[in-house]
Structure 1
Amino acid sequence: MADQENVRSGLPLGWEVRRSNTKNLPYYFHPQTKDSRWEPPAGTDPDKLKEYMASHHSSKGISAANFSVPGKIRCAHLLVKHRDSRRPASWRESKITRSVQEARTAIEEHEKNIQTGNVTLPELATTESDCSSARKGGDLGFFGKGDMQKEFEDAAFQLEPGQMSGIVSTASGLHLIQRLE
């Protein structure tokens, strides 16, 4: 049974996906070695893991706590990095080689899918975002002025709750930002 699960998930033999009780987030665990980690272990098939996580661990939206923090907003985002990003690597790819234009084409497609209602930003961020916040549906939590890169912050603070930005370019890559609170 565990072997079949590894074939479906793309994880190396012995590894499994579990859900954290405290953070309600998926993590990777090896029962024999008791090793646990937030990032996939070496030898993971990223395409199979992406498909597995989308079907087994994707949120159908972000379940936000019903509170706010004065002077701060809460956003989720989807990040597509390119080879000129300040750190051209992610949980999905150890070395990102796509051009800026290829990244723009990819994020434009994501934007179109969100706008047509085929998928939500949190659902898409879970499998497509190059940010580690992907495991939380892109949720960055609360942040205030001066906490994020200027271009990101400027776009985020202009949004009303529930509203999504257009494509925002920063040193990290290309973003779609959704204001949650």
Structure 2
Amino acid sequence: MSGETGLPGGWEVRRSNTKNLPYYFHPATKDSRWEPPTGTDPEKLKAYMASHHSSSRIANPPFQTPEGKIRCAHLLVKHRDSRRPASWREARITRSPEEAMEIIKDYEKRIKEKGESLSDLATTESDCSSARKGGDLGLFGKGDMQKEFEDAAFSLEKGDVSGIISTASGLHLIQRLE
């Protein structure tokens, strides 16, 4: 196990030149992947990603938002009844919907009462692959997302964070960025 990263021996975290996202690479085998390899210590990897790949290193795109499109970040907590109960953090998610609700309520409290950044929390805690980008989902318009997510996202003002939103994917906190 690689000490600081929590990755199995020989694996390292690199940053993609084209996507400006972290990925996992094994120089000896030339294996590369977006998801952490089997045998990764998720707690060590979370700590490493928070200190070396936090959202503060991700620049906001220098363009105007097209008409009818918005940009949001989200933090997703999946549970065993989610549409795909797996993530970059856990190969098989077994927590109950009630356990997921308790987890996301804690994140909501940390954001709203303690001033923690949704983006920073998403980087280490979100069950969505967008965690690599601080939860940033990029631009989307009406009809691009699940209805519950879309309704909540489009009702937010820039900078606002939603309450807890339940979709087939799991439980979300959403922040409107653009």
TM-score tier after normalising by the smaller chain length = over 0.9
Corresponding residue number in structure 2 for 1:30: 26
2:48 partner SS: helix
Give the length in aligned residue pairs: 177
Per-residue Cα deviation, 1:66-119 (whole angstroms, up to 9, x for no partner): 321221111000000111111111111111111111111110100111113442
Q: Post-superposition shift, 1:56?
A: 1.5
Conserved? CA contact 1:61–1:123, under 8 Å: no
Segments of structure 2 that go 5 or more residues without pairing to the other structure are none
| Separation (CA, whole Å) in 2 of partners of 1:153 and 1:61 | 27
Deviations 1:110-151 (A, max 9, x none): 011111344200100011000111111001000111110000
* Equivalent residue in structure 1 for 2:84, among 82, 87, 95: 87
Corresponding position of 1:7: 3
Post-superposition offset of 1:61 = 7.5
1:158 corresponds to which residue? Answer: 155
Cα shift at 1:62: 5.2
Query: How far, CA to CA, are the matches of 1:114 and 1:24 in structure 2?
Result: 26
| Alpha carbons 1:61, 1:137 under 8 Å: kept | no
CA drift at 1:155: 0.2
Change (3 A) 1:48 1:110: same
Partners of 2:125 and 2:157 in 1: CA distance: 24
Give the Cα–Cα distance (whole angstroms) in 1 for the partners of residues 153 and 97 of structure 2. Answer: 22
For the residues of structure 2 that align with 1:150 and 1:175, how far apart are their CA atoms?
A: 13
2:162 aligned with 1:148: no
RMSD: 1.4
Among candidates 166, 169, 176, match of residue 169 of structure 1: 166
TM-score normalised by L of structure 2: 0.94
- Change in 2 beyond 3 A, CA 1:13/1:61: closer
